[in-house]
Amino acid sequence: MNPYETLGVDKTATPDTIKAAYRGKAKKAHPDAGGSPQAFSDLLRARAVLLSPRSRAQFDRTGKIEDAPIDNENAEAMNLVMEIIVGTIKGRGNSPFTYDLLGDVKKTLSGEIKNIDRQRGSFQDEVRTLLSLAKRFSAKKGKQNAISPMLEARARQREEQVADADREIRKRETAIKIADGHVFAYDATTQYMGLAYQMAQLPMPGGFR
């Protein structure tokens, strides 16, 4: 893939030009707008390559995009798994050997994906509303339309937030795949014994123990 051709920019394109080209193509390429997931993924990748000085310089020098996912997506996903593991251990307080740690990791990641997707949907709705509003404003004769450009600029900001949300979701999906590729041998017997002990401490009906 040639990121310059994918975005339709030349090799002297500035970051602002690259972002503008991405926004223009992403509107049609986004799956929600009838585009294909692959085309939208290519746009995201091209944008990431050209906005990364190191990746862009490498492509300009070799004509190749590094094999590792742009923005170290795998490394970021792995770090996310580690953060959740550590956070889960601290949050539970009990021995990490007595429960399904990987199950907790995947449950946390799935919950985060749902929350981010919900926020992404809100941003997408706002983009559509802002662009529709912008079309309805016009300046009186001899005056300049100052409102529509502001609404369109706000819509572009939201579009970038949609793209950011897409990246965060992909990162968490990658993290789940990493977790799925592992097995954690926790001591289920100890877990059940602890639960049985807790239940034994509860008062029985009628005041009996």
In a domain, 205, yes or no: no
Structure tokens at 76: 């970021």
Q: Looking at residue 68, what DSSP letter applies?
A: S
Cα–Cα distance between 191 and 92 in angstroms, integer? 13
Same domain, 79 and 45: no
More confident residue, 30 or 191: 30
Same domain, 115 and 164: yes
In a domain, 207, yes or no: no
Same domain, 20 and 47: yes
Same domain, 80 and 176: yes
- Confidence class for position 184, pLDDT limits 50, 70, 90: confident
Of 67, 97, 117, the position where a domain reaches its end is 67
In a domain, 84, yes or no: yes
- Tell me the pLDDT tens digit for each residue of 22-73: 888 887 876 666 777 778 778 888 888 898 888 898 899 998 886 544 446 7
Cα–Cα distance between 112 and 10 in angstroms, integer? 38
Same domain, 95 and 116: yes
Structural domain of 7:
3-67
Structure tokens at 49: 């390559």
CB 49 within 8 A of CB 56: yes
pTM over 0.75: no
* Averaged pLDDT of the chain: 84
Of 51, 67, 83, the position where a domain reaches its end is 67
Distances (CA, A) of 142 to 117, 145, 164, 166: 44, 10, 40, 42
Determine what percent of the chain falls in helix, strand and coil, rounding each to the nearest 5: 75, 0, 25
pLDDT at 195 over 90: no
Same domain, 110 and 153: yes
In a domain, 165, yes or no: yes
Chain mean position to CA 188 = 33
pLDDT at 179 over 50: yes
∠ CA 17-20-23, nearest 5°, is: 150
Cα–Cα distance between 29 and 19 in angstroms, integer? 15
- Confidence class for position 104, pLDDT limits 50, 70, 90: very high
pLDDT for 93 equals 80
Of 30, 51, 67, the position where a domain reaches its end is 67
Structure tokens at 126: 């706002």
pLDDT for 32 equals 60
Q: What is the CA radius of gyration of the chain?
A: 25
How many domains are there within the chain?
2
Q: How many helices (H) and strands (E) does the chain have?
A: 8, 0
Work out the average pLDDT over 164-176. Answer: 91
